[in-house]
Structure 1
Amino acid sequence: MSLGRLLVGHDLPLRSRAAGVIVLLYAQPLSRIVRLTVDDLGRDGDQVLLRLGEPPSPVPAPVAELLLAWIGRTAAIQPHVLTIPAPVVADALGYHPVTTTTTNTR
């Protein structure tokens, strides 16, 4: 899949688009991408940074918009997700049930 398709492919799930962009731009394995948290995306003035290691990597503007939308959605639903049973969350968000029951050890 091309970077352009991921940036404008609104028919694709946002999480898939964000993960695909990180794979294409930063050559990160999916096992690393699924461990990213809202804290791994930050700002330094106008620059958006993605923490994949030290120092954080700068994110180009079109990609930054996509990642900020993904993180914004994730941050907005997180408090609600924590109060709902994992199988319900998995079904509602289209995740595999194992994904929603895995404990974050970070």
Structure 2
Amino acid sequence: MLPIFRVTAILEGISYLALFGVTMPLKYWAEIPGPNIIVGYIHGALFIAFIALALIVCVQKKWGLKRFAIFGVASLLPFATFYVEDKYLKKVAA
């Protein structure tokens, strides 16, 4: 489950950046809403998958509530899922 969580963390971070860095400006500055809808759905699905996988992996690895909270906060901040993947997940998977 950990490899899937690592990939999801990276994809969630990419979708976050695509949503707020690319499609939101297109929607509000260029009045092109189409890409925002698609990327928004993808980001929403990846966000939910990230949180669900964080819970599953934390239970499997017996990491506790503190680490789950770190993962939860990271899912809300730009670039933070990349940090989580590097600091917490890459070392465990190696």
Question: Taking structure 1 as the reference length, what is the TM-score of the superposition?
Answer: 0.35
Question: Taking structure 2 as the reference length, what is the TM-score of the superposition?
Answer: 0.38
Greater helix fraction, Structure 1 or Structure 2: 2
Greater strand fraction, Structure 1 or Structure 2: 1
